[in-house]
Structure 1
Amino acid sequence: MKKYTLLLFILGLLTNMNVSTLAVSETYYSTTYLLVNRDTGAILEQLNDERLIHPASLTKIMTTFVALEMMDENQLNDTYTLTHDIFYDLVSLDASVAGFDAGETVKIVDILYGIMLPSGADATRAIANYISGSEDAFVRLMNQKAHELGLENTHFENTSGLDHPNHLTTAHDLRIILEAALKNSTFKRIFAASEYQSSPTNFKESGYTWVDKNLEFANGVDPQNPLTGTKSGYTELAGSALASTATVNGSSYMLISSGAPYNPFDFYNVQDALKFYGSIARDSNVSQKNNQQTTEPPITKINEPRKTELFSANLFFLIGSLTTVIGFMIYLISKVFKDA
């Protein structure tokens, strides 16, 4: 008897639930994110955006930005010969590389693209040596820039984003770094590049061809995807991260995310970005339709709910309520007989 009573009671509760509460809300893989309207500065979505995180290769946004600030545009055509010390531990650290070799002479602009598109740690060390003579000296410039930007929760220990207990930032700070970097026209061009062909080197006559795999994946999912630039990263401590910009219905947006699972084929960080920007597009379309409705002449007839729909909804609610009451009454009666 108790089993049937409990079943009726639960059924009644479920029947009375608003159907919308049963719908699964849109979820994201990332555990930290910050979505911003760049035109207005409004924060649209956020989760743990001020929590300390490991930035992984999103570090390279600051590396490239600082490098560009430390030289003039003419230096982009200079060359630098990569030294052996750049490569000594990159394999053991499982660092991503652009593909350069010790002794290879490469244009500075190609090194910068090698930082951002293939996310090369060999390239970050090369530019650090070119600018400052060593990675440690260049990292001091990165931390100085973080201080100038007023970032109280950001500290760098290397140029590439390899995990380190003190190599930390927040989504909030990464947004500020990327916004500042995008004011530099060369950085903006590199960040937006979907593909790049480098100049020939003394080791590689055909040069290097690099592709933004994030944009490539997004285009495969949706050829009309709104992404206008990306930089991704992954380490064990950071998870899969992404900094991206997009244009939706004529407005510019930015998303910083991290903590998504990593899979070289599924691009969970990019999937999250497409979800976020897709939700903006849907909300914008709904808003436009509502605006159109409100500006229509007053004589326009507004469709009312059909009586059959109202009757079905009321009947559904009535059945649920009766089921709940009957279940509770059976429970009371069974309790009385048991006590008797």
Structure 2
Amino acid sequence: MKKLFLLCCLCVAAFFLYANKSTENVDADIDVEIPSLHSQNAILLDESGQSLYEKNADAIIYPASLTKIMTAIVAIEESDDLQKHTMIDPQTISTFTAQNASMAGFKGGDFVTVEDLLYGTVLPSGADATATLAKVIAGSEADFVSLMNDKARELGMNDTHFVNASGLHDVEHVSSVRDISKLFRYALENPLFYKILTTRSYVTEVPNELVMSSTLFTKLPGVENAILGGKTGYTPEAGLCLASLLEKNGNHYLLITTNATGNIRSEPLHVQDALNVHAAL
């Protein structure tokens, strides 16, 4: 009886020890020692989609401009002519300037192509680009957002709901880093999206040439040696966010992080997290 009692105690102790383990580095079969991250939410996938590391991956977060990954892939899939021209509405510029949103640099009255808008959405993360893209693809932002939510359901993004195409803060505009990883992995399978994401800069063909640069590659030295491409994001509520495609020894990895402290002018802790993960691989 005494031996049985001791065995039961050991079983209970083992259960509580397992239950209280950190959610970080959940796959014990993978030999990846990830350092402590500044970001509060993170997930790391290998090329096959296997999770190598997680940190609060299912917590509900505000995706900020990581939203634009969905904006871009939906627009790519719904567009039948990348060279279709449209005009930038001056009201679009004034609306998003008033909200202090990130802008691609288009001016009211500019005639641009869908391709220009796609690069403006991903590289400089322009809300002027997303709003115009939504209108030219679906007729209105509201109808375009419906397409975004349809795609989210198709991809099994069960914790995700989009309210706008830009990622500007709304309490009902939510996701999780696990959901974003599903989206990012899907989008990277599209050759055009991959090309745009891994482009350093792009020059439009509007009457006055506009040079648009990736918001990622200007953050820290050495980024280009570790990260093939990525989409940054920030709002005060979302913190610093990054969806990045890493390369190490010929292998590719997807890293999604959100909720790093700071702002667009502070130390880029989200990018530093990606570099630290790359060094640990």
Q: What amino acid maps onto 1:41 in structure 2?
A: G
SS in 2 for 1:91: helix
Q: What amino acid maps onto 2:36 in structure 1?
A: T
Q: Spell out the pairing of 1:15-34 with structure 2 (5 A cutoff).
A: 26-34=35-43
Q: Which residue of 2 aligns with 1:64?
A: 72
SS in 2 for 1:76: coil
Compared CA separation, residues 84 and 213, structure 1 to 2 (3 A): closer
Gaps of at least 5 residues in structure 1 are 1-24, 281-340
- Give per-residue Cα distances to partners, 1:134-192, cap 9 Å, x unaligned: 11110011001111112111000000000001000010010111111111111110011
- Give per-residue Cα distances to partners, 1:198-230, cap 9 Å, x unaligned: 21x24x2xx111222322334x1x276221111
Compared CA separation, residues 265 and 165, structure 1 to 2 (3 A): closer
Compared CA separation, residues 223 and 98, structure 1 to 2 (3 A): closer
CA distance in structure 2 between the aligned counterparts of 1:172 and 1:258, rounded to whole angstroms: 11
SS in 2 for 1:157: coil
CA distance in structure 2 between the aligned counterparts of 1:152 and 1:80, rounded to whole angstroms: 34
CA distance in structure 2 between the aligned counterparts of 1:172 and 1:85, rounded to whole angstroms: 36
CA distance in structure 2 between the aligned counterparts of 1:180 and 1:116, rounded to whole angstroms: 16
CA distance in structure 2 between the aligned counterparts of 1:77 and 1:231, rounded to whole angstroms: 24
CA distance in structure 1 between the aligned counterparts of 2:274 and 2:179, rounded to whole angstroms: 18
Q: Which residue of 1 aligns with 2:198?
A: 192
Please tell me whether Structure 1 or Structure 2 has the larger radius of gyration of its CA atoms. Answer: 1
Q: Which residue of 2 aligns with 1:229?
A: 229
Shift of residue 270, structure 1, vs aligned partner? 0.5
- Structure with more helix by fraction: 1
Q: Which residue of 2 aligns with 1:279?
A: 280
CA distance in structure 2 between the aligned counterparts of 1:69 and 1:26, rounded to whole angstroms: 38
Shift of residue 265, structure 1, vs aligned partner? 4.9
Pair 1:217 & 2:211 matched = no
Pair 1:107 & 2:109 matched = no
Number of residue pairs aligned between Structure 1 and Structure 2: 247
Is contact 1:33–1:46 with CA below 8 Å preserved after alignment?
yes
Q: Which residue of 1 aligns with 2:45?
A: 36
- Give per-residue Cα distances to partners, 1:78-129, cap 9 Å, x unaligned: 2111123323421221111111122110121111100111100000000011
Q: Which residue of 2 aligns with 1:179?
A: 185
CA distance in structure 2 between the aligned counterparts of 1:223 and 1:138, rounded to whole angstroms: 33
Q: What amino acid maps onto 1:87 in structure 2?
A: I
Q: Which moved more, 1:235-244 or 1:175-184?
A: 175-184
Q: Which moved more, 1:244-253 or 1:25-34?
A: 25-34
Gaps of at least 5 residues in structure 2 are 1-33
Identity in percent: 37
- Give per-residue Cα distances to partners, 1:239-283, cap 9 Å, x unaligned: 000000011111110000000122425211100000011100xxx
Q: What amino acid maps onto 1:180 in structure 2?
A: Y
Q: Which residue of 1 aligns with 2:53?
A: 45
Q: Which residue of 2 aligns with 1:118?
A: 124
Pair 1:86 & 2:86 matched = no
Q: What amino acid maps onto 2:79 in structure 1?
A: M
Q: Which residue of 1 aligns with 2:143?
A: 137
SS in 2 for 1:215: coil
TM-score (norm 2): 0.84
Q: Which residue of 1 aligns with 2:268?
A: 267
Compared CA separation, residues 272 and 83, structure 1 to 2 (3 A): same
Q: What amino acid maps onto 2:62 in structure 1?
A: H
Shift of residue 58, structure 1, vs aligned partner? 0.3
Q: Which residue of 1 aligns with 2:23?
A: none
Q: C-alpha root-mean-square deviation of aligned residues, in Å?
A: 1.5
CA distance in structure 2 between the aligned counterparts of 1:145 and 1:243, rounded to whole angstroms: 18
Q: What amino acid maps onto 2:55 in structure 1?
A: L
Is contact 1:53–1:170 with CA below 8 Å preserved after alignment?
yes
CA distance in structure 2 between the aligned counterparts of 1:129 and 1:175, rounded to whole angstroms: 27
Compared CA separation, residues 175 and 84, structure 1 to 2 (3 A): same
